[in-house]
Amino acid sequence: MTTPTLAAISSVLVDKFAVDPALAMAHSTLDQLGLDSLALMEFVFAVEDRFDVRIPEDRLDPRQAGITLERLAGLIDEAMAAKAVGDVAAG
């Protein structure tokens, strides 16, 4: 199942990092994308900027093998939910 978050992450990969759309699937791991370590870091920053959130490095290290795009989407969703709660509390 493709979520809006996963679709946006895939779009960043395809549009900004020229990743083959066939590789930008939920089950794809970050190390399967064909990006070097610097490009992986830039990709994570681009996704964080796209959603205006930050994921703590202890939750996501893009050099760590086995992190799927689906997992990244889940982390982004969690960060957005936490930010929304913080915004309401501060409001």
Report d(CA 6, CA 70) in Å as an integer. 7
- What digits encode the pLDDT tens for the residues 50-86? 999 998 877 777 666 688 999 999 999 999 999 888 7
- Domain spans of the chain, in order of start: 4-90
Taking domain 4-90, whether its CATH number is 1.10.1200.10 is answered by yes
- The residue type found at 5 is T
**Predicted structure pTM score:** 0.85
How large is the average pLDDT for residues 30-56?
90
